[in-house]
């Protein structure tokens, strides 16, 4: 069976057939799930470490600083050194804290991001699970993280943590509306909630172009709302250092703090992946109708690189936001959602429905 870096379906099928031939169906399934889980764990760790390093470098560039430059060449081992430090740090137990919920909260946050990333299509044949309601699934499980944040704030027996958790809850519940409605706009355009189908429909033209003005408006709103949803600047009211020390994770240390820290970056990766998948064609190459030679050149780039490149561009935009704009007040943050983004989103859905009804997107 011939394998191709452009379509890994045959490679995955060969692994499945080998397991089925040598094991019972039950154990073949268990081994497959274990392999996928280990791959995701490794991918999770590598992407998390890379994004922490990338943000420090981008922050240094924007603020005219060098960034990490001592531990390893260009400071590439600084993040690994920090990770080892967090693993070895003492876990401080808080007096009068609810021990069970205090210990459970970081696991809920990180498990929610694991569940969401499972449905992301990384490339042709690189899709762990392809739900026919993929868009709804990712929205649902990624929203579970706020439960961990609320539990962390309440169980810490700390006023700063509780205020940060309540801010985060209000922020995430509010901006979930804008994220959901912007995705509904794309669902109307594609007529499907299955992520692989949505990507396939963008083979000739990405939705950000074929969807015209409503698709562009939906992308901008999705970018703003998802930045707020991940508690990143300028929407990081939940962990405002000048007011709440560290917000909902003030009392956490060691590996438990690392869980919150890593989950923030992985949530950023997930929302950037969704933006790349739904608006920028996922793993599909950039094609210009009529330019056959140019399109053939674009087809030589493997789908996984297209997907990662688009995702990293969206992540760069989110990092650019954080290190450019000042932090909003909590009233400004909620006003932005309820008075501006939500009405624009509702109007945009009607506009997209009109575009699809008239056939202008074809």
Contact predicate 318/276, CB 8 Å: no
- Tokens describing residue 166: 């309540």
Residue 232 has what pLDDT? Answer: 82
The residue behind tokens 């989950």 is: 263
Contact predicate 215/352, CB 8 Å: yes
Whether the pTM exceeds 0.85: the reply is yes
3-state secondary structure the chain: CCCECCECHHHHHHHHHHHHHHCCHHHHHHHHHHHHHHHHHHHHHHHHHHHHHHHHHHHHHHCCCCCCCCCCHHHCCHHHHHHHHHHHCCCCCCCCCCHHHHHHHHHHHHHHHHHHHCCCCCECCECCCCCCCHHHHHHHHHCCHHHHHHHHHHHCCCHHHHHHHHHHHHHHHHHHHHHHHHHHHHHHHHCCCCHHHHHHCCCCCCHHHHCHHHHHHHHHHHHHHHHHHCCCCCCCHHHCHHHHCCHHHCCCCHHHHHHHHHHHHHHHHHHHHHHHHHHCCCCCCCCCCCCHHHHHHHHCCCHHHHHHHHHHHHHHHHHHHHCCCCCCCHHHHHHHHHHHHHHHHHHHHHHHHHHHHHCCCC
Residue 3 has what pLDDT? Answer: 63
- Tokens describing residue 43: 């991918």
Residue 179 has what pLDDT? Answer: 93
pLDDT truncated to tens, each residue of the chain (362 aa)?
A: 456 777 788 888 888 888 888 888 888 889 998 998 899 889 988 998 899 999 999 989 988 888 888 888 888 898 889 888 888 888 888 888 888 888 899 899 889 988 898 889 998 888 888 888 989 999 889 888 888 888 888 888 888 888 888 888 888 888 989 999 999 999 999 988 999 899 999 888 899 988 889 999 999 999 999 998 888 878 887 766 666 666 777 888 888 888 888 888 899 999 999 999 999 988 889 888 878 888 888 888 888 899 999 999 999 999 998 888 888 888 888 899 999 999 999 999 999 999 999 888 76
Residue 22 has what pLDDT? Answer: 86
């Amino acid at each position: 069976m011939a394998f191709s870096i452009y379509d890994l379906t045959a490679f995955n099928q060969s692994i499945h057939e080998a397991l089925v031939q040598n094991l019972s169906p039950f154990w073949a399934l268990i081994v497959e799930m274990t392999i996928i889980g280990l791959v995701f764990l490794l991918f999770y760790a590598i992407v998390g470490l890379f994004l922490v390093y990338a943000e420090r470098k981008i922050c240094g560039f924007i603020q005219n600083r060098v960034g990490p430059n001592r531990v390893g060449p260009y400071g590439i081992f600084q993040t690994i050194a920090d990770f080892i430090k967090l693993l070895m740090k003492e876990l401080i137990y808080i007096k009068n804290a609810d021990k069970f919920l205090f210990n459970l909260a970081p696991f809920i946050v990180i498990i929610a991001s694991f569940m969401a990333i499972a449905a992301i299509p990384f490339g042709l044949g690189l899709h762990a699970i392809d739900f026919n309601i993929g868009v709804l699934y990712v929205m649902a499980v990624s929203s579970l993280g706020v439960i961990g944040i609320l539990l962390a704030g309440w169980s810490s027996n700390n006023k700063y943590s509780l205020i940060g958790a309540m801010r985060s809850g209000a922020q995430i519940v509010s901006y979930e509306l804008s994220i959901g409605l912007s995705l509904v706009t794309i669902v109307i355009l594609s007529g499907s909630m299955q992520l692989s189908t949505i990507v396939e429909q963008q083979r000739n033209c990405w939705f950000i172009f074929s969807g015209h003005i409503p698709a562009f408006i939906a992308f901008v709103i999705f970018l703003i709302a998802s930045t707020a949803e991940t508690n990143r600047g300028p929407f990081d009211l939940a962990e405002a250092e000048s007011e709440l020390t560290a917000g909902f994770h003030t009392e956490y240390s060691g590996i438990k703090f690392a869980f919150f820290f890593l989950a923030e970056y992985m949530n950023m990766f997930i929302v950037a992946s969704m933006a790349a998948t739904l608006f920028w064609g996922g793993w599909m190459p950039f094609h210009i109708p009529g330019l056959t030679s140019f399109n053939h050149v674009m087809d030589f780039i493997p789908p996984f690189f297209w997907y990662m490149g688009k995702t990293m561009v969206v992540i760069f935009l989110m990092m650019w936001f954080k290190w450019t704009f000042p932090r909003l007040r909590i009233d400004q943050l909620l006003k932005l959602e309820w008075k501006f983004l939500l009405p624009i989103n509702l109007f945009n859905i009607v506009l997209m429905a009109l575009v699809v009804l008239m056939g202008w997107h074809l």
